[in-house]
Amino acid sequence: MKTFDYLVLGSGLAGLFCALKVAAHGRVAVITKKQRAESNTNYAQGGIAAVTSKEDSFEMHVRDTLAAGAGLCREDIVRSIVQEGPARIAELIEYGMRFTEREIPDSNGARELDLGREGGHSKRRILHAKDVTGREIERALLAATEAEPNITILEDHVAIDVILSHKIGMSGPPRCVGAYVLDRQTGEVETFAAPVVVLATGGCGKVYLYTTNPDIATGDGLAIAYRAGASIANMEFIQFHPTCLYHPQAKSFLISEAVRGEGAVLKNAQGVEFMDAQHPLKSLAPRDIVARAIDSEMKRSGADCVFLDITHKPARFTMNRFPNIYQKCLEFGLDITKEPIPVVPAAHYQCGGVVTTADGATEISGLYAIGEVACTGLHGANRLASNSLLEALVYAHRAAQHAQTHPQPPISGPIPGWQSGQAQNADELVVVSHNWDEIRRLLWDYVGIVRSTKRLLRAQKRIANLQEEIQEYYWDFVVTSDLLELRNIAIVAELIITSALRRHESRGLHYTLDYPNPDPACAQRDTVLQRTAA
């Protein structure tokens, strides 16, 4: 048994920021599935939304967030996160984050933060590091984390489940006391004991066939929390990013919304700017509207993609502002300064998640959820672009503080080790890969941008069968990371489908042909699911 004061699952912005904050008070283990930088954060291009300019205000940021959230945001939460943003950004800069700056005109060379614009924002307020903001965040926070003697980062470690005191016969009120973790290198399952466990495992984009997310985004923390009995809310609200590069060799490459923020325009194959008829903000309308318009344009015309055109901007500007996108597209033979970029929508962000308090605490004592895995009330039915890294920063800080002010008793007594029973080595790995593919295609085809009750019911039936098969396989065979991820995405799929079937209206990111309008009676009503006791 390995004992720590804090166990943080995930090494993106939320996990690392929280680890750094609690490290002053005890020993911290950061568990990460692959290499330490491999997180959703690392791929974030756009940036962090925060009010830092005189032309902007908290009120405007709150208003934009509420408008995107389509009646489901919790206004008190939105307000407090927006107001706390600048203080957390200042700390991030202290940890070494370098945001892009620009020279202030007529100021003798004085500089200020360069602010980008994205869909749904009424002002320029996105702090960024060119178009590789997430990579720069990871660089800065990993350097700070590695310099902190109280933090141990364990790569190639996959959390299986959290350990609950009442399930192992430990005395005292029920609480979370650690986690079972698979070491991918040795194949051994290790027991980690800790009175505070923080889920910072990111989202679940890999549940869909096409996604902007990296391979690690399999909803692990969400599935772990659900199995442990925590409430999960609003999983029907999956955000599809409108512009993922469409190219046979490109896997999950995002074309940042900041490109539209700088004037790029969506066109169909005939060069028609089809967003003009859809929304006053045209190509810079909120994401749900743009993604649906692209979906409908592709279905109407039978085309495989639409196009994003920034060729009217000076080439030097594009290459300087979007060096990563420019270079990556060039590798695929596409010069974005001269030709439009073929794009399609792809699953991008999970707006729902594990229900938390304003401090990131879940209903299970000692268990916190922060970042994309959590549902705090900020995003409502549709996340405003670049609000997620802001939320991750604020909640990492709050969870760290709450864990200090509400200390858990130390863990008394040993925790039983992982029992693998009669499990054998898996005989046919094809079962795992087949079920993975089936779930991802099923979700893309039946639970995508435009839904219907008939398709959702069909998907529900298939997922139930797959779950049964996966469950048998799980008990019969020794756990591997592929099997663990499969078990997790199957649960995530079930939660998305069940939530979508429960919402009898269209709102924000959830659009269904059977209930095409919002129902005022459903405003402010979350879809909450909780596992019935096993």
Place of tokens 């743009």: 290
Per the CB < 8 A criterion, the answer to whether 112 and 100 are in contact is no
b/e 155-174 (16+ beta carbons within 10 angstroms → b): bbbbbbbbbbbeeeebeeee
Cβ closest to ligand SIN, residue 99 vs residue 349 = 349
Cβ closest to ligand SIN, residue 144 vs residue 378 = 378
Least distance between ligand SIN and beta carbon 392 (Å) = 11
Q: What is the Cα–Cα distance from 468 to 474, expressed in whole angstroms?
A: 10
Least distance between ligand SIN and beta carbon 290 (Å) = 11
Q: What is the Cα–Cα distance from 143 to 92, expressed in whole angstroms?
A: 12
Task: Please give the residue ranges that form the binding site for ligand SIN (CB under 6 A).
Answer: 45-46, 256-258, 349, 385-386, 388
Strand segments (E) across 12-56: 28-31, 48-49
Cβ closest to ligand SIN, residue 45 vs residue 365 = 45
Q: What is the Cα–Cα distance from 290 to 243, expressed in whole angstroms?
A: 9
Which residues are identified as catalytic? 287
Least distance between ligand SIN and beta carbon 145 (Å) = 23
Among 372, 52, 508, smallest CA distance to 60 is for 52
User: What residues contact residue 375 under an 8 Å CB cut-off, 6+ apart?
Assistant: 232, 233, 234, 351, 352, 353, 354, 355, 356, 526
Least distance between ligand SIN and beta carbon 45 (Å) = 4
Q: What is the Cα–Cα distance from 371 to 355, expressed in whole angstroms?
A: 12
Cβ closest to ligand SIN, residue 343 vs residue 484 = 343
Least distance between ligand SIN and beta carbon 386 (Å) = 4
Q: Phi, psi (5° rounding) for residue 70?
A: 55, 45
Cβ closest to ligand SIN, residue 10 vs residue 178 = 10
- How many angstroms from the chain centroid is the CA of residue 122? 24
Q: How many residues does the chain have?
A: 534
| Strands 196-199 vs 6-9: parallel, antiparallel or unpaired | parallel
User: What residues contact residue 147 under an 8 Å CB cut-off, 6+ apart?
Assistant: none
Least distance between ligand SIN and beta carbon 43 (Å) = 9
Least distance between ligand SIN and beta carbon 186 (Å) = 36
Cβ closest to ligand SIN, residue 14 vs residue 385 = 385
Helices (DSSP H) in 152-238: which residue ranges? 220-228
Three-state DSSP class for residue 275:
helix
Cα dihedral 386, 387, 393, 396 sign: negative
| Strands 232-233 vs 238-245: parallel, antiparallel or unpaired | unpaired
Cβ closest to ligand SIN, residue 351 vs residue 490 = 351
Per the CB < 8 A criterion, the answer to whether 365 and 176 are in contact is yes
In the chain, the amino acid numbered 199 is L
Per the CB < 8 A criterion, the answer to whether 509 and 237 are in contact is yes
Helix axes 75-94, 58-69, angle to 10 degrees: 120
Tokens read off for 391: 């939320």
Determine the residue with CB nearest ligand SIN: 46
DSSP 158: E
Question: Terminal CA-to-CA distance of the chain, rounded, Å?
Answer: 26
Cβ closest to ligand SIN, residue 62 vs residue 258 = 258
Place of tokens 């995930």: 10
Least distance between ligand SIN and beta carbon 182 (Å) = 30
Cβ closest to ligand SIN, residue 378 vs residue 463 = 378
Least distance between ligand SIN and beta carbon 287 (Å) = 8
